[in-house]
Amino acid sequence: MKAPLDRGLFRQRPKKTITRNLRGAIASRVIGPWEWLFMPALVAIAVTVVLATPIRIFGLHLPEPVMPLVLAFVWPLVRPSYLAPLVLAALGLFLDVYWSAPFGFYTLTLMIVYGVLVTVRSYVAGQDWRVVFGIYVATEIVFFGMGVTLIALDTGSIVRLIGVFEQLIATTLLFPVVPYMLDKYVHADVRFG
């Protein structure tokens, strides 16, 4: 007899186990730079452009998260790469121009996030998602703190911190992308790029 909650959404699915034996390694799909670097970068650009549409839905503006920050968090955890910082720099330059920020503003802040995470990746990769979420929020705080500091140095005035908090919340809502990409790429055969 089936358990009363063992149907529909409550059906317990068999747990996925990662096969680390030889057969599993051979069966894993090879993932190249196009798939784990360039495609997410293009998606990030597309999402940024779409969310910049000047409309209001039920009186509310569209959110404006910093989409490349998710990639700056995920890519160093997947593996260190020569191409990733260059693609990230291009994404930062795109944000600088598209959002009309000072040249180098997003490039510098994203690069610092990437560099720090490359250094500490061995402590973060493989942790429980709650730990990863905490580190993600800490990364966001560092990122936006650097942004506030750089703008204060550049213009001599402090930006409204409530606005910074709103953008931080919008970027936090993108966190489900992080475990999705980590599950997809961390244990895959990600090729050198």
Partner 1 sequence: MAYGDNKHFEHLKLPVTWAVMAIVVGVCIFAALMLLGDRREEVEPNTYGDRSAFDSAAKPVNGALAAPVHVVGAGTSWLDDYLFAASENRTLKKQVAELRQYRDAYFVLKDVNERYEKLLNLRTEPAVEAVTARSVSVTRGPFNNNRLIDAGASRKITFGNPVITDQGLVGRIVGVSPNVSRVLMVTDVTSHVPIMVMRTDARAMMKGDGGCCPKLEFIRGKNVIKKGDQILTSGDGGIFPRGLPVGEADQGVDGVWRVRLYADRAPIDFVKVLLFKDFSRLPDADQLLKTPPVSDLLPPPVLPTVNPAAAASASASASAVVSSAAPAPAAAASSSSAAARPAPPRPKPQPRPATSASASSSSSPELRPFTPAPAPASPQPSTPTGGAN
14 belongs to the binding site for partner 1 (CB under 8 A): no
Q: By C-alpha distance, which of 146, 134, 119, 124 is closest to 172?
A: 134
Q: Where are the beta strands (DSSP E) in the chain?
A: 30-31, 56-57, 60-61, 189-190
Tell me the CB-side half-sphere exposure of residue 55, using CA atoms within 13 A.
6
46 belongs to the binding site for partner 1 (CB under 8 A): yes
Two tokens, residue 21: 């034996």
One residue of 31, 33, 35, 118 binding partner 1 per CB under 8 A = 118
Number of residues in the chain = 193
Helix crossing, 83-98 with 39-51: angle to 10°? Answer: 10
Tell me the CB-side half-sphere exposure of residue 99, using CA atoms within 13 A.
22
One residue of 145, 155, 173, 189 binding partner 1 per CB under 8 A = 155
One residue of 12, 50, 128, 130 binding partner 1 per CB under 8 A = 50
Q: Which stretch binds partner 1 (CB under 8 A): 13-21, 34-42, 89-97, 181-189?
A: 89-97
* Closest CB to partner 1 among residues 4, 59: 59
Q: Which stretch binds partner 1 (CB under 8 A): 16-24, 27-35, 109-117, 178-186?
A: 109-117
One residue of 112, 137, 142, 186 binding partner 1 per CB under 8 A = 112
Distance CA 181, CA 33 (A): 14
* Chain residues that interact with partner 1, rule: CB under 8 A: 46, 49-50, 52-59, 61-62, 64, 80-82, 84-86, 89, 92, 97-105, 107-108, 111-112, 114-115, 118-119, 147-148, 150-151, 154-164, 166-167
